[in-house]
Every structure is written in structure tokens, then in C-alpha cells.
Amino acid sequence: MAPQTKKPTLLCGGNQQYGRARLRRDPVDDLSDSQNEWFTDRPIKWMLYDTIVGFDKGIMENIIESALSKWAAVSSLTFEKAAPDTAADDVNLKIKVSGPSVVDPDFPAQTDGSWIAANASWGPGISQLWKPVEKKIYSAHVKFNNTSSGPNNWNVNQIHNVFLHEVGHALKLGHTLVEGAVMGRLMKEGGGNQDIQLQSDDIARIQKYYKPASAKRRFRRAKGSVSAFRS
């Protein structure tokens, strides 16, 4: 019998909030959703700061846009790539890569052949400490593991699939035990060779917080009544 080729299972590195790592193998898992919620009255501005070796920035940005558009299509959330000169406080979603020469304590090596592919914030951090105090700062991150403890064979589909899952955390979702859902903990077979789609469980969960239909109806009414304001 021919030996089976063992493909690594990609793991989510868990969530971080306020600097406290939540480990993926804690007996009490991070299944619950974050308390913090994003705004929906304007786009979440995102920026890609680093790249995975072998991928140029434009390609990675296209992959990220494709994944973000899937969440946007089923929710009231919108996303916008931040202009290159955008101040750090005004970039809401920071997308980073731990590079090959880095030892990142967020990504300890695994001993069972699996990899921690990435981690992310658990919902947005919301700060009101800056002046003017009315200006809340919303901030979250997704970080890919391109260190020696990470996947050594990143491909376009894996980047997409891992990001689709991790940004779900940044949007405020925890993990699910529903089989096959994007927000499940494990990504088997190395993340697959095709882009995954949001499943009904993922869609129901994001719509619990960011309902799309009412927002769109409001928008249409507002547009339709423009002439009433001209009198």
C-alpha cells in the first residue's frame, strides 16, 4: 500500500485581545464572539504592511480584497484599502506578516506536523483615550506566519482561506464547531487548493451583528428622497 502523503493541518493561532494570547488548545476554547463591534456607517480601512515571501504586494492585496468582499456581500460591513500615506490611527485593519528571519512568540513550533498559519484580533480594539475624546479609534490586526514555524508552501488559495477565517475573528466572530464552516478551528489538507466560500453558519453568525438588508433599504430610501430636501 502506497504511503499517504501527509498534508499539514493549518491551525488558527487563536485570538488576541488587549495583548493576552488565547491559546488554541485551551480546554476552554475561544468559541464565543467578541463584545466589541465595528461601525457600519463607513468603510473599515485596511492596509497590508508586509508580504509573504514569493508574493508581491499587489497579488496579496487582490487576495485580501477577494476575501473581504465575501464578508461584505453578506453583511452591512464595507471595506476600503487605505491610501499609502494614511496615519496608523486611521488604519482600522492592519494586515501584517511575520517574516522568515523572525522568531515570533505568537507562533510557537508545533510537534505534530501541524502549523499555526496566522492569528488575529478578537473583534476591534476601541480606544477613546486620544484627543479629541469623541474620536474613537478602532483597530484590529491579522498576522500571517511566514516564519520557520509556519506553512512553508503558501499558495494563493491558502492565503485567501486563512485570511477569510482570520478576518472573521477581527470582525468579532469566535470559532464554531459546525462542520465545514469557515470559522471552524482547523483547516484540513493544508488549506485546500481552491478558495473556500462562506457557509450558512458563517453568514448567520455575521448577520447577527451586521444585518445587511435593513441597511440597504435605508440607503435606497435616502437616495429616493433626495429631491424632497431641495425645496
In the complex, what is the shortest distance from the CB of residue 29 to Zn ion, in angstroms, rounded to a whole number? 10
Q: Which is nearer to Zn ion, 16 or 82 (CB)?
A: 16
Q: How far from 34 is each of 16, 56, 189, CA to CA, in Å?
A: 11, 32, 28
- The string of DSSP letters for 81-112 reads EPPTT--GGG--EEEEEE-TT---TTSPPPSS
Is 56 labelled a binding residue? Answer: no
In the complex, what is the shortest distance from the CB of residue 173 to Zn ion, in angstroms, rounded to a whole number? 9
Dist CA 171 CA 168 (whole Å): 5
Task: Report the amino acid identity of residue 5.
Answer: T
In the complex, what is the shortest distance from the CB of residue 8 to Zn ion, in angstroms, rounded to a whole number? 16
In the complex, what is the shortest distance from the CB of residue 15 to Zn ion, in angstroms, rounded to a whole number? 7
Is 183 labelled a binding residue? Answer: yes
Q: Which is nearer to Zn ion, 90 or 189 (CB)?
A: 189
Q: Which is nearer to Zn ion, 82 or 190 (CB)?
A: 190
Provide the annotated active-site residues: 166
Contact 1, 106 (CB under 8 A): no
Q: Where does the chain have alpha helices with state H? A: 57-73, 156-171, 200-207, 212-224
Is 175 labelled a binding residue? Answer: yes
Cell of 223: 437616495
Is 165 labelled a binding residue? Answer: yes
The residue of the chain with the least Cβ separation from Zn ion equals 12
Q: By the criterion CB under 5 A, which residues form the site for Zn ion?
A: 12
Q: Which is nearer to Zn ion, 12 or 164 (CB)?
A: 12
Annotated binding site for Ca(2+): 90
Annotated binding site: 90, 106, 165, 169, 175, 183
